[in-house]
Amino acid sequence: MNIEISAIGAIIGLIIAIILILRQVPPVYSLMLGALLGGLIGGLGVSETVEQMIGGAADIMPSVLRVLGAGVLAGILIESGAAAKLASSIVELFGEKRALLALTIATMILTAVGVFVDVAVITVSPIALLIASKTKISRLSILLAMVGGGKSGNVISPNPNTIVLSDAFRSSLIDIMLAGVIPGIIGMFATYFVAKRLVNKGSKIQNEELDDNNNKRLPSLVNSLIGPLVAIILLTLRPLFGVDIDPIIALPLGGLIGVIFMGKVRYTVSYLKIGLDKMAPVAILLIGTGTIAGIIQNSSIDKLLIHSLESIGLPSLALAPFSGILMSAATASTTAGATVASNVFAPTLLQTNVSAIGSAAMINSGSTVLDHMPHGSFFHATAGSVNMNAKERMKLIPYESLVGLIIVIISTIIYGIIPLFLQ
CA–CA separation, 48 and 31 (whole Å): 17
Q: Of 238-242, 302-306, 345-349, 362-366, which range is least confident? A: 238-242
Task: Specify the pLDDT at position 423.
Answer: 47
Q: Of 124, 125, 128, 72, which is closest to residue 99 (Cα–Cα)?
A: 128
Q: If pLDDT is split at 50, 70 and 90, which confidence band does 378 have?
A: confident
Q: If pLDDT is split at 50, 70 and 90, which confidence band does 239 have?
A: low
Find the farthest-apart pair of alpha carbons in the chain and give their distance in angstroms, rounded: 66
**N residues, the chain:** 423
Quote the mean pLDDT of the chain. Answer: 86
Task: Specify the pLDDT at position 419.
Answer: 66
410 CB neighbour count, 10 Å cutoff: 19
H-helix or E-strand spanning residue 388: none
- The rounded percent of the chain whose pLDDT value lies above 90 is 32
What is the tens place of the pLDDT at every residue in 99-132? 899 999 999 998 898 778 888 888 888 888 888 8
Q: What's the whole-number mean pLDDT along residues 176-181?
A: 92
CA–CA separation, 129 and 387 (whole Å): 10
Q: Of 21, 8, 12, 3, which is closest to residue 333 (Cα–Cα)?
A: 21
Q: What's the whole-number mean pLDDT along residues 121-150?
A: 88
What is the tens place of the pLDDT at every residue in 216-232? 678 898 999 898 889 88
End-to-end CA distance of the chain, in Å?
A: 31
What is the tens place of the pLDDT at every residue in 186-216? 999 999 999 999 988 878 877 766 665 455 6
Task: Specify the pLDDT at position 2.
Answer: 60
Task: Specify the pLDDT at position 312.
Answer: 82
257 CB neighbour count, 10 Å cutoff: 17
What is the tens place of the pLDDT at every residue in 25-81? 888 899 899 999 999 999 889 999 999 999 988 888 887 888 788 888 888 988 888
Using the predicted structure, report yes or no on whether residue 403 has a pLDDT greater than 90: yes
